[in-house]
Structure 1
Amino acid sequence: MDLFLKNIDPIVVKKIDEIEKKKRFLARTFLKVSLERKEVLRERKDYDKERKEKS
């Protein structure tokens, strides 16, 4: 969504854009780490299940 504002300092607009880009980056990083952790836990659970079956 585009916003059209009048009489806004370009420096402020640039700073807001930088903050938004950083937030998006952090959100993507958080999602990536969360998915990786979930996968590691799933693999560990599968490993433990196989180990119990062998015993």
Structure 2
Amino acid sequence: MAYVITDACISCGACEPECPVNVISAGDDIYVIDADGCIDCGACANVCPVDAPVQG
């Protein structure tokens, strides 16, 4: 199951460089994950200071 980024995101950008498949990008207000490319590794969740990425 792919990760999604919740509204808790503070747009700090810590998650983006950690993604090994480069599916995280800046959205309008928060970062977003392309669920089709997410490999469910949890790297983004491990570095997020507000626990915004969750398994969706």
TM-score (norm 1): 0.26
Would you tell me which structure has more strand in proportion to its own residues?
A: 2
Structure with higher Rg: it is 1
Higher RCO structure, 1 or 2 (CA under 8 Å, sep 6+): 2
TM-score (norm 2): 0.25
